[in-house]
Structure 1
Amino acid sequence: MTPKFHPLVVQDVRKETDDTVSIAFEIPSELTNDYQFVSGQYITIRKIMDGEELRRSYSICATPQDGELRVAVKRVDDGRFSTWATSDLKTGEILDVMTPSGHFQLVPEISAARNYALFAAGSGITPIISIAKTILMNEPMSTVTLVYGNKGFSSIIFREELEALKNKYINRFQLIHVLSRESLGNPLQKGRIDKEKVELIGRTLLRGEHIDAVYSCGPEEMTHAVKNAMMESGVPENNIHFELFGTKTAGSQAKIIVPKDQDVLAKVTIILDGDRIEVDLNTAGTSILEAGYAAGADLPFACKGGVCCTCKAKILEGSAVMDVNYALEKDEVAAGYILTCQAHPTSEKLTVSFDD
């Protein structure tokens, strides 16, 4: 189902830290099915500010069993929406909210007996806490180790909730805080979550336990460090799942360089909700998403940075190349899927579908 925007009423705004709030939305009964989600997924919020349309994606921090749709927003430097949301957003406000999407997710299996290693930094805890709670509530034979990095104790988002989980699931949930600017008295918990830190935690606190699955969310440097360390310890690459927070935004990515003799003028057909729109587009021109949007197609997108997967479509005919890809798995690319915000045609005819 193609993600759609709907106006939703802000039901609750809760202060989590000095620079972070969590926001819950009221879901009308007729939209209940549309806003069903899986732990790890995100929503996109749309707001017009100073005449400009802003779209921001935020991971859902609730679980499907919590009975609410809640996200956390952390204020970032020069962040127009996050600054407004953390200082001025009030209960009762109406925001355009896209239906949930995202491939970073966990579907629990009640009979599973797995050892999970979860890693988060800063606001990367938002999908991770949902995943952790879902495992603990629905897989009674599984264990969870969560390594959570922050600058200091006061910047730990969901601190009380995490401590409550540790006390409730004392034999199945291990919580390890890592602080870069404060000391907890243990050298292991000082610094950043880099490759050496992950390896050290694996040797000491994980005690050599077999890790069945890894979920990591945070800056690109951290997620790559976790992936490399876990793979070297024997965890298969397919069992390591990650989502990037704080990656370069649209406009700052390196564009592909197309030699003149390879610059194709393509007839691009875009299919959305059964409708077709055609645009002429050069390989060296704008992305397929930008071209379609300029032609009047209300195509789904959020980050425009190759990270969130909202703009994913499938090639039905022809070929294309992407500037960057932080979201699609290798098998998805092999099956013909592209991120239209990063894709450019390389054949004279190209048909892509958002419906497949």
Structure 2
Amino acid sequence: MARFHSLTVTAVDRLTDDSVALTLAVPPELREEYRHAPGQHLALRRVADGADIRRTYSICSPAPDPAGEGPRSLRIGVRLVEGGAFSTYALKEIAAGDALEVMTPAGRFTLEPAPGLYAAVVGGSGITPVLSIAATLLARDPAARFCLIRSDRTTASTMFLEEVADLKDRYPERFQLVTVLSREEQQAGLPSGRLGQERLTALLPALLPVPEVAGWFLCGPYGLVEGAERALRGLGVARSRVHEEIFHVDASTASVSTSAAPAHSTVTVRLDGRGGTWPVREGETLLETVLRNRSDAPYACKGGVCGTCRAFLVTGEVRMDRNFALEPEETEAGYVLACQSRPTTEAVELDFDR
């Protein structure tokens, strides 16, 4: 069960004008709890003006060796979002020595290191989890290769430039880097412009043998991830080989279902080994109902993007307003996002422990 602990910030590194990397120290007694897979994220929490503000940020540091101890530190990248309550605080106020409330690692946008060729298409801050995935893979498996295709506005806005350059220096034969800038011409490399479906459909086969790629990792804004997924589908890549994580979705992108809700409904929940049944108020999501009765329910973004509130639907039926976190095989297996789920039957049962 995900839990929050207080971790101390040991370094705040400026990456670009609008982004920083935060390093968090993990004390010995918490290192097993913060053991993470490459690609997972952390939820950070602060209370401001009486409001509980939570945001998720991917871990960019390599995952610890499974045979060794848990991580002594964790590093995350934070990019300023216009009007963002947490990102503004992170860039303007957080300093070394501060204590932050940090949830234990979560997320399924991960790769278990294994031999083979892997590739990623990322945009902007989407580099963050992929940096951990690539660094962990190349360090652990000498038979693995990784191709990183990254899109940024300009060189000055590119996060983790030095860290990616270091991977290229350490693994020149196994790490391939392709950079595309949308608002700046490069002296060498690909011409500027956005990476959309049409461009990727032509570009990917020219860069690497698409059928031989064991896993594709798409991360960044919704438009880029959607375009890359469509390009791969058109190139015959099996859906099981494509993994997606979306960092930002415009409100207009959501397609909200209008299915009628029952006049009265209840939700029965199993959470951290304990159960309860409560009435769902009109207009509430199931997460909102649970939080009224169990403040320890897991959640972060409440926008259907991070997947922290994933739960198994034991009985009953729900509609999800939006879903940008669960893979098709997860929804087919019965998992839902509690923050986006509304009951369409009089009784619903969720299991957060499964």
- TM superposition score normalised by structure 1: 0.92
**Aligned-pair CA distance for 1:34:** 0.6
Q: Given that residues 118 and 146 in structure 1 are in contact (C-alpha distance below 8 angstroms), is that contact kept between their aligned partners in structure 2?
A: yes
- Which residue does the alignment assign to 1:81? 86
Stretches of 4+ aligned residues off by more than 6 angstroms: none
Query: Residues 290-301 of structure 1 correspond to what in structure 2 (within 5 A)?
Result: 290-301=288-299
Counterpart position of 1:256: 257
Following superposition, the deviation at residue 255 of structure 1 comes to 3.9
CA drift at 1:128? 0.8
Give the letter for the 2:237 counterpart. V
Distance 2:209 2:63 in 1: 32
Structure 1 contact 188–197 (Cα < 8 Å) conserved: no
Q: What's the secondary structure of 2:213's corresponding residue?
A: coil
Alpha-carbon distance in structure 2 between the residues aligned to 1:123 and 1:189: 21
2:258 maps to amino acid? I
Name the structure 1 match of 2:235: 233
**Partner residue, 1:313:** 311
The reply on whether 1:102 has 2:107 as its aligned counterpart is yes
TM-score (norm 2): 0.92
Once the two structures are TM-superposed, the CA of residue 205 in structure 1 deviates from its matched residue by 2.5
Deviation of 1:294 after TM superposition, in Å, equals 2.2
> What is the alpha-carbon distance in structure 2 between the residues aligned to residue 73 and residue 311 of structure 1?
21
1:137-216 alignment runs, 5 A limit: 137-186=139-188, 188-206=190-208, 210-216=212-218
AA in 2 matched with 1:130? S
* Deviation per residue, 1:204-229 (Å, 9 max, x gap): 23266732211010111111111111
For residue 277 of structure 2, what is the aligned residue in structure 1? 278
Deviates more, 1:344-353 or 1:201-210: 201-210
Report whether the alignment pairs 1:347 with 2:349: no
**Structure 1 counterpart of 2:98:** 93
Q: 1:8, CA displacement in angstroms?
A: 1.1
How far apart, CA to CA, are the structure 2 residues paired with 1:173 and 1:77? Answer: 34
Residues in 2 aligned to 1:333 and 1:31: alpha-carbon distance in whole angstroms: 32
Residues 267, 348 of structure 2: 8 Å contact kept: yes
The answer to whether the 8 Å contact 1:176/1:189 transfers is no
1:265 corresponding residue in structure 2? 264
Distance in structure 2 (CA, Å) of the matches to 1:25 and 1:254: 37
Which secondary structure state, in structure 1, belongs to the residue aligned with residue 345 of structure 2? coil
> Considering only aligned residues, what root-mean-square deviation do their CA atoms show, in Å?
2.0
Please state how far the C-alpha of 1:69 moved relative to its aligned partner.
0.9
Deviation track 1:285-338 (CA, whole Å, cap 9, x = no partner) reads: 210001111234421100111111110111222222211111122222222211
Alignment of 1:316-327 (within 5 A): 316-327=314-325
**Secondary structure of 1:341's partner?**
helix
C-alpha deviation, 1:22, in angstroms: 0.7
Q: Residue in 1 aligned with 2:68?
A: none
SS class of match (1:177): strand
Offset of residue 254 of structure 1 = 5.0
Aligned residues: 348
Give deviations 1:26-71, integer Å, cap 9, x for gaps: 1121111110000000000001123322101000000114752110
Distance 1:192 1:206 in 2: 20
Per the TM alignment, residue 252 of structure 1 is displaced from its structure 2 partner at its CA by 8.6
Secondary structure of residue in 1 paired with 2:279 = strand
Q: Deviations over 1:108-152 (max 9, x none)?
A: 12xx2x121111111110001111111211221222111111111
Q: Which one is further off, 235-244 or 334-343?
A: 334-343
1:248–1:305 contact (8 Å) kept in structure 2: no
Secondary structure at 2:296 match in 1? coil
2:323 aligned counterpart, secondary structure: coil
* Unaligned ranges ≥5, structure 2: 65-70
* Identity value in percent: 37
Task: Name the residue aligned to 2:31.
Answer: 32
- CA distance change for structure 1 residues 207 and 241 in 2, over 3 Å: closer, same or farther? closer
Matched letter for residue 85 of structure 1: A
